[in-house]
A and B are shown apart, each in its own frame.
Chain A
Amino acid sequence: MTIYGVALLAVSTLVGLTLGDELGALLGVKANIGGVGFAMLLLIFSTDWLKARGRFTPPSAAGVVFWSNMYIPIVVAMAAQQNVLASVKGGPLAILAGVAGTAISFAMIPALARLGRPK
């Protein structure tokens, strides 16, 4: 059933985010550290485990795939609620500070990617 996939996704996300909050609290940081990453690993492991036992059927998968496909529209909605006005109003300092680091980071990526490219 589709809801099994959706439920598995929900449980993975909830557990992952909780782990992220926990890790943040352990390190004394007011942030979720790696929560979404943990959730992704949980989803990958649990679906693999269930698939190997034939318990993860195509209808269940459809419940996960639907949300994966909704990802871009959700990101568009996320973009539509950013405080774009404030970022422009922040003036030259904010714009320069935001752009400079980003530009150098972009420039570093090819070198970093080459550095550790798996064989």
Chain B
Amino acid sequence: MIELLRQSLLKNGLLTAFALVGALMGLSYFISTRLTRGRLHGSALAVFGGLVLAYVGGMITGGKNGLADVPMFAGVGLMGGAMLRDFAIVATAFGASFSELKKSGLPVVIGLFSGVLVSFACGAVIAVVFGYHDAVSVTTIAAGAVTYIVGPVTGASLGASSEAMALSIAAGLVKSIVVMIATPLLAKKIGLDNPHTAMVYGATMGTHSGVSAGLAATDPKLVPYGIMAATFYTGLGCLLGPSALFLAVRALLRV
């Protein structure tokens, strides 16, 4: 009986993932209302729970895809993979107000540039402090602090060492996780309760996974605005990282 159940859970991976995530959501909302009196939002707890499961999955399998590397939960990889993620994110735009989008042009552009530059500069300074002095490694690690996609794209085109690449990706992952967890906690403080601020937030933070999860846990209605802006961030980072930013780092390190 148990063996048969195991077999069907394995064979129907996506359904197993639906059931698992459903249970996790239920547990999170229960904890949210009963134990935190709604102060910690259920979806924020669920995202955090997902990260914990990813950590456990990584511990068990030693793989890179968190829980999705456990054969029984491989369906989580499909459910949370790029295809369904983009599909569902686009769906959230249904009912979004276009006039709200149009109003926020300039601050979004400033947010995009300052977000990429600030994250990159912080990453670069910290890389130098930790003893990296060649321009390629510093740029790669700094680009990772922008997002974990910008990092490896930059590193690959500069021919960075695998050590710098690994650090770069790790820095980006830390950023995305910090954004996921911190957004719902800081939302009130930074006035993140309207489409305009959500767009500025999306543009400044830029990490796709961090912004999508952070806004989902704050107010799902804001998701399309934040994501719409964030969708240009990684592209801008990939554009600037191996070019202008690399040249700037190289010039500064020579001084």
Contacts and interface: CB of A to CB of B under 8 A. Distances in A.
A100 interface: yes
B17 interface: yes
A37 B90 CA distance: 8
Given A17-B86, A86-B169, A90-B166, A72 B235 contact: no
A17 B175 CA distance: 25
A72 B32 CA distance: 16
A52 interface: no
Interface residues of A, number: 77
Contact of A37 (B22, B46, B197, B227): B227
B106 to A, nearest CB: 5
A81 B216 contact: no
Interface string A80-100: 111111111111111111111
Contact of B191 (A35, A41, A110): A110
Interface in A4-51: 9-10, 12-13, 16-17, 20, 23-24, 27, 29-37, 39-41, 43-44, 47-48
B58 A84 contact: yes
Query: Most A CB atoms within 10 A — which of B86, B150, B153, B170?
Result: B170
Given A40-B224, A76-B49, A101 B90 contact: no
> From DSSP, what is the main secondary structure of chain A's interface residues?
helix
B223 interface: yes
Interface stretch (B3-11, B205-213, B246-254): B205-213
Nearest to A88: B55
Query: Most A CB atoms within 10 A — which of B73, B86, B115, B208?
Result: B86
A97 B169 CA distance: 11
Query: Most B CB atoms within 10 A — which of A33, A37, A44, A47?
Result: A37
Closest 9 CB pairs of A and B: A90-B170, A98-B174, A77-B80, A33-B235, A79-B50, A116-B107, A85-B58, A101-B119, A87-B173
Interface of A: 9-10, 12-13, 16-17, 20, 23-24, 27, 29-37, 39-41, 43-44, 47-48, 61, 64-68, 70-102, 104-106, 108-110, 112-113, 115-118
8 contacts: A44-B93, A76-B47, A80-B53, A80-B66, A80-B68, A85-B55, A87-B170, A105-B204
